[in-house]
Amino acid sequence: MMYFEVLVEGGSDVPTVRELLKRKFGLEETVNFRIHPHKGRGALPANILGAPDPKRQTLLDQLPAKLRGFSYLGDDACVVVLVDADDTPQDQLLGELNSVLQKLPRKPSRVVFRLAVEETESWFIADTQAILKAYPKAKIQKLRNIQPDAIVGAWEALADAIGSKRAEVTGPDKFAWAEKIAPYLDFDNPVSPSLKGLIDDISEHVTEE
């Protein structure tokens, strides 16, 4: 069975990734995968071969060191890096990530970079039926004119739909949204193209065995 080390930006990404790996692929946490949340996206360090700054616990700041640290993994393991695209052009961000990977003298044999466009909340607002199942009183008409993965301020749009005040939303609130909505996401026919891309990438590695 393929083993996955998954790096995500923050705790609010964990419930969705966990749900995907368990429900869609039948993987067991700690046995077949681990998820590593960070404190935001951050930026790639200027010196990718240096020791990471302990004061910068963001995903991109720590990424080169984390990839070097996972160099011991064999061919039956894969590192998945899930990064929010935000408003950065996708090709640019993926190019930067792949450039870093190529320059590392030690790295895992399997690494997948996958963007959440715009952020993981985009996967929720694209699947309005999942939102309704989690929040039956949600005003999904606010979301119906939004194209999947459009750069619209996804978490703000979700907050509006479920009746949360934007100014009062916290990290734990986003975690709670993910815990409630993720069990209802359609992983067989995902509406969000970036969610489908993540599923396809993981499926490719799972079925290689």
Percent residues over pLDDT 90 in the chain: 93
For residue 129, which of 49, 171, 191 has the smallest C-alpha distance? 191
Is the pLDDT at 52 greater than 60, yes or no?
Answer: yes
Q: What is the largest CA-CA distance in the chain?
A: 53
Fold adopted by 3-119+188-206: Rossmann fold (3.40.50)
Q: pLDDT (tens digit, 9 = 90+) per residue, 55-80?
A: 999 999 999 999 999 999 999 999 99
Per domain, the residue ranges of the chain are: 3-119+188-206, 121-184
Give pLDDT tens digits for 76-129. Answer: 999 999 999 888 899 999 999 999 999 999 999 999 999 999 999 999 999 999
- The token duo for 123 is 């996967």
CB 2 within 8 A of CB 8: no
pLDDT at 209 over 80: no
